Structure 1
């Protein structure tokens, strides 16, 4: 369950920390006090998008932290599959929001938004103000049915998904082969042209690189020759300014005086070695220069060959290896076209085979869904009667889609009748917003009993209801609170009276700023808040007595009927 919430610098919230408890946690407050902000902070942990104006005015960041105590073995197992290890049975989810980006952590370790959303989805479920509208969509209705029977349905759905992918791929292959004789002839001619163009080039691996080097050398031949000639003049013996002539003269002069001082012998030897190296260099340089000449024909042939290779690269691939691979693929296509009739028959047979397999697993999935649909129908009717639908009929209609999908071929629709004598009709044609909200509440309660989620959050589930219906909803919330932690934002005193823990959210001025705060209400403070919900602007003694009585009746109901 959610044991601790910490929110800092988020919209009107400056810095609040809340300790939630077991059972039904009720949050009330004036309109605009910041209840939606508090809920929005939790939705951030579930991957909600970050608006630029979420960070409190003047703050550099916003922070949301949720600490969960995990006691459900299935929740622990689901977290384990996500690689999350509990620390003393706890999981801490943190999201720090900085100017359009966020830093997300699970138990202190950085993670992605997707990873945090996956973990949070194992721990809590949020029902927002308008989520019940999704019940009008058939895809959502099917999703609910699959979630109800997920232990048996999900493994078969995986088989359907794999069979559908195989079927889709086989259809795609058959479609690619489906062409008339004229098309095949054109395709064959085109393939033959490309293959001939590549093969006639006689490309050799690495040839392009060697030609590039030769081309650069030939293209810069004149510059190379002029430079080497100048180097030969500077280092050779043919010029009085050449280093070779100068070093040779220096050797002769030094040898004349070496016999007078033995210390000069090492320097003389070094100078003779330099003279030898310089002579070797000049011989090698002269040989290179003598052999270097600009061959116009070689340059032309090199340039022409490079143009051919580059043209093929532009058409078929950026390297000779890729071009050869492309040619091999085109040969295979040509070979396939030569065996077109055989390949087409084989592809058609593969489509029929994959379609038959998809039909089998889709039919199996449909049978399982229909089994669970009856069970879910009974549960929903039971839950709706608890929520003051006195004479309700509910039915899940199954139709077959025209085409296969990765989710099978079932097309379902929830149908309902809320009045005696009326036949069932689709939800969207019958129910009001308040009725739709109660139906979703019944479904949430059913699904919560079948999965690992310990914490359910309801935002104004009381929309569009009052009186006896409101009382029934409050009793249902109390029932859910016996086996789950429930956080509920409400305006109705009937629901607030059922609170196991009651929190008030209020805003007030702090200097020039407006801030939102939350604090627990006990005893008379809780009764006073119920009176505000009951009495509106003027809180008379009669209203207080009414609120006190409502609180006492709720206590009696929980202590007798729910035990």
Structure 2
């Protein structure tokens, strides 16, 4: 659940902290008081679009911080799989700092990307904005809702379908490529034969280019290398120079040897100097062998240069590395074999394509069977939830129509919500008859039905009451109360029927601080909550009648919650 929201220097909010409770958290306030800023700040913290214009005038930055508490092991495992360092007590702190031109997001002190932040938010919270119910007018959303509902039963079938559909498309493309005339086939075949022969005759080996580059570089610079090596040998080798290092060290060894018997301490020094003499001798032997290896003739140099030119030509022409050159050889040989016997190749492709299409259709059928069964189950649950929301004579079905000629990565089903809200009227597509108020209730019904199937414990509703009033508003209030038994609900509303159901009631209002407008948010006591209900019921003037009406409404809400 969401423990708290801390906002600083955002829009009209100077600094506010809201501590939410379990159950139903209601936020009310005058129009324009800043209710949307609260939901906006939550969205901002969870990766919403950042606008520097949101920073409070005169401040360098804005800050939003959300503190969540994990409610189940599933959430913890999902976050740990994303390498998010969850606290031992299950606390997750999400912080976003907004500055001019940039923003920084952190989760439990670790910087995260916008993509990671979105994935994390999908695990912890579900936000229903003011216009989200409009998505129900798009049929694509209906398919998403149904698939989300039966996700467990679908398992890995959607992934298998995508994989096999891609294979089918690749086979179809390969088959299409065989539709060439004879002249084109001969031209392509001759080019492939030349390229295959060019690579095969060169027979490049992986790593050969690096060895050739090293050898060529050594040969080109052999004179400089030889001069330096000979000079070093002359300076260190015995007999090459009267003042060579070997001769000098040798004489030093002999000198110490004549006096070592007089002082035992000289023994260790003589031993060290003897080691130096031996190291110089070994070095000179190695350097002498290296100098002999530097000797090569012009023919060897030319062979190395010519081979390097051939390898570099192949790399430039076929991919930049020998590995890619050899991969090109394999692909071109396969294509050449196909062109050499085009009819047989084409027949094999057609057979493979037919088998692959059967596999794809079989996966589509399995997915469709699951969807159709789930559509009946979900349809009945939604109908029941809609009746609870004052759709008294509603008929609701989820139509799943299959078309084997129209296969996509989602299958071959077309899903559409069908509804009738009046007796005697036939079922029609949702987009044809649903009003704004009906759409918001249908969305609430959906949230209620699917809430038990996911592990998200916190739901936010921004004016779910749009377009409703009276008895319908009370039904919506009861449904929110029902949903809040097992979930934390945060709801912005302007309807007293919904506000009366609050377990915790917050007030949002504008005020003045140091001559500037600020938005304040605070929790209401039981008496203050009653007064706010009275305001919602009767406007600015609070009378004994509106107060009594508010008390009655609270009593009804309490009875409804049982």
- Which range, TM-score by smaller chain? 0.7 to 0.9
Q: Is the 8 A contact 1:399 1:410 kept in 2?
A: yes
Give per-residue Cα distances to partners, 1:331-363, cap 9 Å, x unaligned. Answer: 344334445444433333333223223323322
SS at match of 1:16: strand
Name the CA distance, whole Å, in 1 between partners of 2:232 and 2:122: 77
Q: Which residue of 1 aligns with 2:549?
A: 550
Match of 1:472 among 455, 472, 475: 475
Residues 492 and 243 of structure 1: CA distance in aligned 2, closer, same or farther (over 3 Å): same
SS at match of 2:4: strand
Give per-residue Cα distances to partners, 1:131-174, cap 9 Å, x unaligned. Answer: 0011111121122223333433x32xx22430341242133134
Residues 92 and 290 of structure 1: CA distance in aligned 2, closer, same or farther (over 3 Å): closer
Q: 1:285-364 residue pairs with structure 2 within 5 A?
A: 303-320=305-322, 322-338=324-340, 340-364=342-366
SS at match of 1:554: helix
Q: Does the alignment pair 1:445 with 2:445?
A: no
SS at match of 1:474: helix
Give per-residue Cα distances to partners, 1:200-220, cap 9 Å, x unaligned. Answer: 335466654565456556656
Shift of residue 297, structure 1, vs aligned partner = 7.6
Name the CA distance, whole Å, in 1 between partners of 2:207 and 2:89: 61
Residues 372 and 208 of structure 1: CA distance in aligned 2, closer, same or farther (over 3 Å): closer
Q: 1:42-53 residue pairs with structure 2 within 5 A?
A: 42-53=42-53
Q: 1:4-19 residue pairs with structure 2 within 5 A?
A: 4-11=3-10, 12-19=12-19
Q: Which residue of 1 aligns with 2:262?
A: none
Shift of residue 512, structure 1, vs aligned partner = 4.5
Name the CA distance, whole Å, in 1 between partners of 2:205 and 2:325: 11
Name the CA distance, whole Å, in 2 between partners of 1:226 and 1:81: 66
Q: 1:240-255 residue pairs with structure 2 within 5 A?
A: none
Q: 1:20-419 residue pairs with structure 2 within 5 A?
A: 20-56=20-56, 57-60=58-61, 62-68=63-69, 70=71, 75-83=72-80, 91-98=90-97, 99=99, 100-105=103-108, 114-152=115-153, 154-155=154-155, 158-177=156-175, 178-179=177-178, 180=180, 181-201=182-202, 203=204, 208-209=209-210, 211-212=212-213, 215-216=216-217, 303-320=305-322, 322-338=324-340, 340-401=342-403, 402-419=405-422
SS at match of 1:370: helix
Name the CA distance, whole Å, in 1 between partners of 2:436 and 2:402: 29
Residues 298 and 373 of structure 1: CA distance in aligned 2, closer, same or farther (over 3 Å): closer
Name the CA distance, whole Å, in 1 between partners of 2:105 and 2:147: 34
Residues 559 and 511 of structure 1: CA distance in aligned 2, closer, same or farther (over 3 Å): closer
Shift of residue 442, structure 1, vs aligned partner = 1.5
Q: Which runs of 5+ in 2 are unaligned?
A: 237-241, 252-279
* Cα RMSD for the two superposed structures: 4.7
Residues 33 and 314 of structure 1: CA distance in aligned 2, closer, same or farther (over 3 Å): same
SS at match of 2:423: coil
Name the CA distance, whole Å, in 1 between partners of 2:489 and 2:231: 92
Q: Is the 8 A contact 1:23 1:482 kept in 2?
A: yes
Name the CA distance, whole Å, in 1 between partners of 2:421 and 2:186: 66
Name the CA distance, whole Å, in 1 between partners of 2:300 and 2:375: 82
Q: Is the 8 A contact 1:69 1:89 kept in 2?
A: no
Name the CA distance, whole Å, in 2 between partners of 1:102 and 1:340: 58
Shift of residue 34, structure 1, vs aligned partner = 2.5
Q: Is the 8 A contact 1:104 1:113 kept in 2?
A: no
Q: Which runs of 5+ in 1 are unaligned?
A: 236-241, 252-277
Shift of residue 521, structure 1, vs aligned partner = 1.2
Give per-residue Cα distances to partners, 1:94-148, cap 9 Å, x unaligned. Answer: 223233221222xx66665555544443443211111001111112112222333
Residues 547 and 91 of structure 1: CA distance in aligned 2, closer, same or farther (over 3 Å): farther
Range that drifts further, 190-199 or 15-24: 15-24
Q: Is the 8 A contact 2:5 2:19 kept in 1?
A: no
Q: Is the 8 A contact 1:527 1:547 kept in 2?
A: no
TM-score by length of 1: 0.78
Match of 2:490 among 457, 473, 487: 487
Residues 550 and 195 of structure 1: CA distance in aligned 2, closer, same or farther (over 3 Å): same
Match of 1:433 among 404, 411, 436: 436
SS at match of 1:406: coil
Q: Is the 8 A contact 2:473 2:497 kept in 1?
A: yes
Name the CA distance, whole Å, in 2 between partners of 1:61 and 1:472: 39
Structure 1 residue ranges, 4+ long, deviating more than 6 angstroms after superposition: 84-89, 221-235, 284-301
Equivalenced residues, count? 540
SS at match of 1:48: coil
Name the CA distance, whole Å, in 1 between partners of 2:455 and 2:233: 87
Q: Is the 8 A contact 1:396 1:412 kept in 2?
A: yes
Shift of residue 379, structure 1, vs aligned partner = 2.4
SS at match of 1:463: coil
Shift of residue 487, structure 1, vs aligned partner = 1.3
Name the CA distance, whole Å, in 2 between partners of 1:285 and 1:478: 90
Residues 215 and 377 of structure 1: CA distance in aligned 2, closer, same or farther (over 3 Å): closer
Name the CA distance, whole Å, in 2 between partners of 1:445 and 1:292: 83
Q: Is the 8 A contact 1:34 1:506 kept in 2?
A: yes
Residues 391 and 231 of structure 1: CA distance in aligned 2, closer, same or farther (over 3 Å): closer
Name the CA distance, whole Å, in 2 between partners of 1:22 and 1:231: 83
Q: Is the 8 A contact 1:104 1:112 kept in 2?
A: no
Name the CA distance, whole Å, in 1 between partners of 2:469 and 2:338: 72
